[in-house]
Amino acid sequence: MRFFRKTSLYLSLFLYFFLYESSMAANTIRRGESLRDGINHKPLVSPQKTFELGFFSPGSSTHRFLGIWYGNIEDKAVVWVANRATPISDQSGVLMISNDGNLVLLDGKNITVWSSNIESSTTNNNNRVVSIHDTGNFVLSETDTDRPIWESFNHPTDTFLPQMRVRVNPQTGDNHAFVSWRSETDPSPGNYSLGVDPSGAPEIVLWEGNKTRKWRSGQWNSAIFTGIPNMSLLTNYLYGFKLSSPPDETGSVYFTYVPSDPSVLLRFKVLYNGTEEELRWNETLKKWTKFQSEPDSECDQYNRCGKFGICDMKGSNGICSCIHGYEQVSVGNWSRGCRRRTPLKCERNISVGEDEFLTLKSVKLPDFEIPEHNLVDPEDCRERCLRNCSCNAYSLVGGIGCMIWNQDLVDLQQFEAGGSSLHIRLADSEVGENRKTKIAVIVAVLVGVILIGIFALLLWRFKRKKDVSGAYCGKNTDTSVVVADLTKSKETTSAFSGSVDIMIEGKAVNTSELPVFSLNAIAIATNDFCKENELGRGGFGPVYKGVLEDGREIAVKRLSGKSGQGVDEFKNEIILIAKLQHRNLVRLLGCCFEGEEKMLVYEYMPNKSLDFFLFDETKQALIDWKLRFSIIEGIARGLLYLHRDSRLRIIHRDLKVSNVLLDAEMNPKISDFGMARIFGGNQNEANTVRVVGTYGYMSPEYAMEGLFSVKSDVYSFGVLLLEIVSGKRNTSLRSSEHGSLIGYVSFPKTKSKNCCSLLMSI
């Protein structure tokens, strides 16, 4: 019996060590071992099965390559290829560690088709091992020191992965470049490459052929690339990119990217067609989704409008123009760019007058700048440019410092928002002329606006007089609330209808749970929509304060005829908010739909919205910590009602500080349900191609992929909570390394500090 027990114990130990060795062999190759292609080929698999390394044939090709691809998802995109220029014609490939310690790939004739090509510093190479990591890095190291001798991350092909270090040495000009495939099925080096430009302030450049620039990212400012203004809005980007200088390599700097959520699969790839894409794995859709692509427009094409020209995206095509003070060299030929109209003072060798600077705002800064990192004062930067006759412009950017341009200004682009300010050096006469032109334009515009306004006012008063004097609801001209069957335009004198259908864009919307006001009653309540009663404006149109005949104060949201967005909001709020009753939700009292008029009638909130107090330095003190906690609690209760306790399960989709209204007792009420969506009983999430809401409050999966759920509102609530306790807007830190309040609290350096520094003192 004892013999069998011992035998069983020995057998268990043998199986344990055998399985342990087998599991180790699944992601490693030691000296004397090999990975062979063929029918029984099994790739190396990283510990968490995130990546695999093995032999493959792209598309319909019969050539064999050694590569790395994703292992545990359906779309096994290839991220690295070893022998991309030297394919093997059959399945005879063998990967092994050679006698000199190098990692080599041999074909069927025992010819080396690829090698790690490192010089061995030791005579003992038996302790070397190569393994595939969960980062996608293929590493050759020594077992006793675990020191990397060679790694695939230092020899990339066409894909940049998180935690990969992109090296550049401005002193030597060396840099890591990502080279595209030649075609979709040919991994051999293609015609496009992507890397960090070693000259000037660090920026990403896409080259075509022999270093012909095709696109560039703009300068790195320690938070974003200045030529990608929407980068600060994409959570995939934020808090991930870093620039560091390793102490052991003089002159070298590294770009690294470590996402805030390591479980999210991301990759950046340069394609064979000359574009660079940023892709994120969508587990719900089971495919890669693109959240950014460069170049993305005509104006993104490098130097689209030539020297001293600027490209502005208006419509579908980029429009070129010369910057002020310059004229086109050859009319119709933008490749030749523009030239200065009036020489600078230093060029004319005269002492009369002084060169001036014209500021261009929200632009992509030109290429080939000279950084002056030690200058951080605007006046010092300006003087540095004035002292050099070759200086054409300067800019002072946070995170970079002063930048000077002594060459032609190339690759200028005008943005709608974001970007940087560029100060163009011009002769004083050019700047004076520009000021006179601006004054003339402003005067002409003002005169035109006044005349149009007078005409519009007279027309509106005439039309209003005609409409209000008429019988809006048949023969009933009483100023009390009148309900009308607006679908069939029937007359009624009852106070409220039991069930009324109104037609909005051909669709009947039932208002059985919502009173319908007459236009006559609302016009009287708001004093004929006078300007003094206007509370504000939104994308839907103006909001007016009014008083009903019974003394109740109301807020009337009047849909503008030019607002397509407002029509959808109007329908949504009638359908949704009429069914919701909660002390922390704004109450919809009724609606009006007559002729061209569409209006929603709410209870009036005398203390306006939360942002009125929260972001005003003089009013912040009015909401102490006790009141702030009460407001937070009220918003949470309202959100819980929407998600769990109401008759309908509602996802708000636009929860933000300006959509939280305050009543006379400072009780918070969630408003604006125009973007809201109803969820079924078992529905957990939904997808939309029309992403609506406000950037900064949107969850990452909603902003980039259109996926929204209860979690989307919870994310917005988290942003709202940070704004309430800090007294700062989420986007107030956009120019810093954190990018936003969320970036501040999740930033690694901040985590180790006292997060109470975020709390404002009251």
The single residue of 654, 663, 672, 713 carrying the catalytic annotation is: 654
Number of structural domains found in the chain:
5
Residue 623 lies in a domain: yes
Encode pLDDT of 36-87 as tens digits: 999 889 999 999 999 999 999 999 999 999 999 999 999 999 999 999 999 9
Task: Determine the pLDDT at residue 13.
Answer: 47
**Burial classification of residue 213, based on how many CB atoms lie within 10 Å of its CB (0-12 exposed, 13-18 middle, 19 or more buried):** middle
Q: Are residues 479 and 400 in the same domain?
A: no
- CATH number, residue 493: 3.30.200.20
Cβ atoms of 232 and 734 within 8 Å: the answer is yes
Q: Are residues 616 and 578 in the same domain?
A: no
Instruction: Please write down the long-range contacts of 6-10, taking CB distance under 8 Å and 24 or more positions apart.
Output: none
Q: Are residues 516 and 632 in the same domain?
A: no
**CA–centroid distance for 498 within its chain:** 48
- CATH number, residue 681: 1.10.510.10
Alpha-carbon distance 367 to 200, whole Å?
9
Cβ atoms of 56 and 64 within 8 Å: the answer is yes
Question: Other CB atoms closer than 10 Å to residue 104's CB: what's the count?
Answer: 18
Encode pLDDT of 659-684 as tens digits: 999 998 999 999 888 788 887 656 66
Bridge pairing between strands 138-142 and 148-151: antiparallel
Q: Are residues 291 and 315 in the same domain?
A: no
Residue 543 lies in a domain: yes
Cβ atoms of 281 and 263 within 8 Å: the answer is no
Beta strands in 326-419 (DSSP E): 326-328, 338-340, 356-364, 370-372, 393-397, 401-405, 412-414
Task: Determine the pLDDT at residue 42.
Answer: 92
Task: Determine the pLDDT at residue 568.
Answer: 66
Among 604, 639, 672, which residue terminates a domain?
Answer: 604
Which runs of consecutive H residues, i.e. helices, occur in 506-599? Answer: 519-525, 564-576
- CATH number, residue 84: 2.90.10.10
pLDDT of 558 higher than 70? yes
Cβ atoms of 481 and 518 within 8 Å: the answer is yes
Among 426, 450, 466, which residue terminates a domain?
Answer: 426
Question: Other CB atoms closer than 10 Å to residue 430's CB: what's the count?
Answer: 21
Model confidence band, residue 322 (pLDDT cutoffs 50, 70, 90) = very high
Q: Are residues 611 and 757 in the same domain?
A: yes
Residue 340 lies in a domain: yes
pTM greater than 0.85 (yes/no): no
Residue 63 lies in a domain: yes
Encode pLDDT of 478-514 as tens digits: 333 333 333 333 333 233 333 445 555 444 455 556 7
Compute the mean pLDDT over every residue in the chain, rounded to the nearest whole number: 80
Reduced to 3 states (helix: H, G, I; strand: E, B; else coil), residue 287 is: strand
Residue 442 lies in a domain: no
DSSP one-letter code for 538: -
Residue 78: domain span:
1-155
Model confidence band, residue 572 (pLDDT cutoffs 50, 70, 90) = confident
Q: Are residues 6 and 77 in the same domain?
A: yes
Nearest to 585 by CA among 648, 491, 494: 648
Q: Are residues 22 and 132 in the same domain?
A: yes
Between 710-726 and 625-640, two packed helices, what is the crossing angle to 10 degrees? 170
Residue 345 lies in a domain: yes
Instruction: Please write down the long-range contacts of 148-157, taking CB distance under 8 Å and 24 or more positions apart.
Output: 149/101, 149/118, 150/103, 150/116, 150/118, 152/68, 152/80, 152/82, 156/80, 157/79, 157/80, 157/81, 157/84, 157/187
Residues 383-390, mean pLDDT to the nearest whole number: 93
In angstroms, the Cα distances linking 437 to 234, 322, 432, 443, 630 are: 39, 16, 9, 10, 54
Cβ atoms of 192 and 206 within 8 Å: the answer is yes
Among 296, 322, 342, which residue terminates a domain?
Answer: 296
Encode pLDDT of 739-758 as tens digits: 556 655 554 554 545 455 55
Residue 438 lies in a domain: no
Q: Are residues 328 and 206 in the same domain?
A: no
Residue 459 lies in a domain: no
Query: What amino acid occupies position 329?
Result: V
Q: Does residue 654 have an active-site annotation?
A: yes
Q: Which residue has the higher pLDDT, 636 or 735?
A: 636
Q: Are residues 286 and 211 in the same domain?
A: yes
Q: Which of 37-51, 161-175, 239-253, 604-618 has the lowest mean pLDDT?
A: 239-253
Spatial neighbors of 522 by CB under 8 A, at least 6 apart, are: 546, 556, 592, 599, 601
Q: Are residues 562 and 643 in the same domain?
A: no
Alpha-carbon distance 264 to 289, whole Å?
12
DSSP one-letter code for 313: E
Q: Are residues 555 and 680 in the same domain?
A: no
Q: Are residues 638 and 761 in the same domain?
A: yes
